[in-house]
Amino acid sequence: MTQLKNRRYLDALLKQPVDRTPIWMMRQAGRYLPEYRATRAQAGDFMSLCKNAELACEVTMQPLRRYPLDAAILFSDILTIPDAMGLGLYFETGEGPRFKKEINNVADVAALKVPDPDKELKYVMDAVSTIRRELKGEVPLIGFSGSPWTLATYMVEGGSSKTFSKIKRMGYEEPEALHLLLSKLADSVIEYLNAQIAAGAQSLMIFDTWGGVLSPRDYREFSLDYMAKIVDGLNTGSGEHKVPVTLFTKGGGQWLEWIADTGCDGVGLDWTVDIADARRRVGHKVALQGNMDPSILYASPERIRQEVQVILDGYGEGTGHVFNLGHGITPEVDPENAGAFIKAVTELSSAYHTK
């Protein structure tokens, strides 16, 4: 493999010195970019775009051509594993992801098989290897998966939910069914992410989008314990070739210490967390990723720059911070404003790092 030219992102996650704070954006390959919209139209639909390695590579590279980002992230979807389990993922206009089959009881769970990442999910591995080759060592490639809890919510609810009534009822009334589902999903994620590493992923993210809807006790039982199992099962290596792992629970700011104790390398923060307080709480145990409110990208470049300064001041001096949004960039953002955000981080952050 080509020697990596820019290690800034990996070094920050591993708490090694960097010359400035690295930056990438969640959903940086997305609908806010006109070139992405054109490529998606060419593909025909979202999943066809995900399953075409060349087109998935193209949209992964698009933001890197526009902006001086410090990492690329695999273009895919968090629901690839449930789809590979045979639930029939599709996207309803205006409603988001849906499944043709739902998980209703322990018999449904027992019928699920852990997918083979080199068979049912080979298109993801093809995309990873294609992107890694196209990057030519310019920046590292981030692979990812949804967390078991987040994947389970979609599988039991049949799609997106506001109340999560079906899966919470399962947790309270049939906890053995939910634990069996989460255990199968954790095993699937371990195999999936290890296959991404083998295909060329140099860092990993686990997106726990819906962990924040749980009570503290249920979060530990149904979400965190399974993410910790995944961290333990990953072939991340060591030294300068270590593949750092970041866990991101949206709405999980009250549990930062618990998340940091899983053995992960980085903890993602949403914008409801004060980054100075987060750093005090976790100390030197993990790096922090975040955490600007994505909605600030609707403001003027001057206001965006002010917010970047506030977050840099909050984290303070030293390594261990990966600058990012507190969630994904939204489709209506002007690409020029995204550029102003990235420029502000690259220009202002060097003052927080010793030469």
Q: According to the annotation, is 60 in a ligand binding site? A: no
Q: How far apart are CA 182 and CA 192, in angstroms?
A: 15
Q: According to the annotation, is 126 in a ligand binding site? A: no
Q: According to the annotation, is 289 in a ligand binding site? A: no
Q: How far apart are CA 345 and CA 8, in angstroms?
A: 13
Structure tokens at 205: 């993210």
Give the phi and the psi of residue 270 in degrees, each rounded to 5.
Answer: -85, 180
Q: Is 154 a catalytic residue?
A: yes
The single residue of 37, 40, 66, 220 carrying the catalytic annotation is 40
Q: How far apart are CA 106 and CA 210, in angstroms?
A: 22
**What is the 8-class DSSP label of residue 205?**
E
Q: How far apart are CA 23 and CA 154, in angstroms?
A: 30
The single residue of 20, 27, 98, 279 carrying the catalytic annotation is 27
Q: According to the annotation, is 123 in a ligand binding site? A: no
Q: According to the annotation, is 30 in a ligand binding site? A: yes
The secondary structure of 5-38 as a DSSP string is S--HHHHHHTT---SS--B--TT-SSTTSHHHHH
Strands (E), 162-220: 203-208
Q: How far apart are CA 195 and CA 192, in angstroms?
A: 5
The secondary structure of 237-305 as a DSSP string is --GGG---EEEEETT-GGGHHHHHTTT-SEEE--TTS-HHHHHHHHTTSSEEEEEE-GGGGGS-HHHHH
Identity (one letter) of the amino acid at 310?
V
Identity (one letter) of the amino acid at 178?
L
The single residue of 36, 67, 154, 192 carrying the catalytic annotation is 154
Q: According to the annotation, is 200 in a ligand binding site? A: no
Q: According to the annotation, is 354 in a ligand binding site? A: no
Q: According to the annotation, is 2 in a ligand binding site? A: no
Q: Is 169 a catalytic residue?
A: no
Q: Is 27 a catalytic residue?
A: yes
Q: How far apart are CA 57 and CA 72, in angstroms?
A: 10
Q: According to the annotation, is 98 in a ligand binding site? A: no
The single residue of 11, 77, 208, 265 carrying the catalytic annotation is 77
Q: Which residues are catalytic?
A: 27, 31, 40, 77, 154
Q: Which residues define the annotated binding site?
A: 27-31, 77, 154, 209, 327
- Which residues contribute to the annotated binding site for substrate? 27-31, 77, 154, 209, 327
